[in-house]
Every structure is written in structure tokens, then in C-alpha cells.
Amino acid sequence: MPVIQNPPFYADLEDVGIQIPLDFRRMTGITFIDTILISDAAPVPPTEWLPLLFHELVHVLQYEELGLNRFVQLYVNGWAEGGFRYEDIPLERDAYELDAKFRSAPAQPFDTLATVRNQLSGYGIA
């Protein structure tokens, strides 16, 4: 898609002078439950396509394991607790850890679901 749009309620935030929390228009990719959006506005080099897709697929597994409500709760709480730094969101750290493993040896299979389940068990919800 050309660009990932911000949600409509952002206009209301801006109307009352609240800074938008996260600019989706600058994102490369985002996953909603089982749908991965990749933006044309922030293109990745061809070599980054598979790792990006792998990273987003880890989020699909996280959604499947947690369910939508729990995923959003963990994601947003983790974001707030880390001072709104994207890279400190625990579910992102988990996904980056796995995409680093994929990058290091793309042809080497490993049990991604088992690893995701193991990571999530650390949140006290398994």
C-alpha cells in the first residue's frame, strides 16, 4: 500500500492539542491480527524483505497466542513502561530477537512457535 494511514481519531487528538503518540505514516510495516501492511513510503532494500516479513509473522504468532485484547494490553503497557520507546517494547524485543536468529541463518529451520510460546511464558500469561 502507498502509506499506512493514521487512525481517524488522531484528528480529534490534534484538535484538542494532544500530540499524536505514534506516526503510522512513517512505519515500514505493521501487523493487525493476521494482516501485514507494508508501506511503499518507507521502502526496504530487497535483502530486507524476508527478515521484515519474518518479523511481522512473529507478531502474527504473538496475536494468535495472546488473543487481540491481551496482545494490545501487553504491547501498549510495554510501550508506556519503556517510556514510549518503540525499541523497548517487550513484544518488539522478542520479535527482533527472532528475526535476528532468522537473519543469522535463513536456511536453518527452527521452531518459531515454541520460541514465541517460551518468550510469552515470561509474561506470566501462558
CB of 120 vs Zn ion, minimal distance in Å: 15
Q: Of 10 and 96, which has the nearer Cβ to Zn ion?
A: 96
Q: Please, which of residues 69-98 interact with Zn ion by CB under 5 A?
A: 92, 95
- Closest among 4, 70, 1 to 33, alpha carbons compared: 70
Q: Of 74 and 92, which has the nearer Cβ to Zn ion?
A: 92
CA 117 to chain centre: 16
Q: What is the rounded CA–CA span in Å between residue 71 and residue 65?
A: 9
CA dihedral 79, 38, 42, 53 (to 10 degrees): 80
CB of 60 vs Zn ion, minimal distance in Å: 11
Q: What is the rounded CA–CA span in Å between residue 67 and residue 69?
A: 6
CB of 90 vs Zn ion, minimal distance in Å: 11
Q: Of 10 and 78, which has the nearer Cβ to Zn ion?
A: 78
Size of the site for Zn ion (CB under 5 A): 2
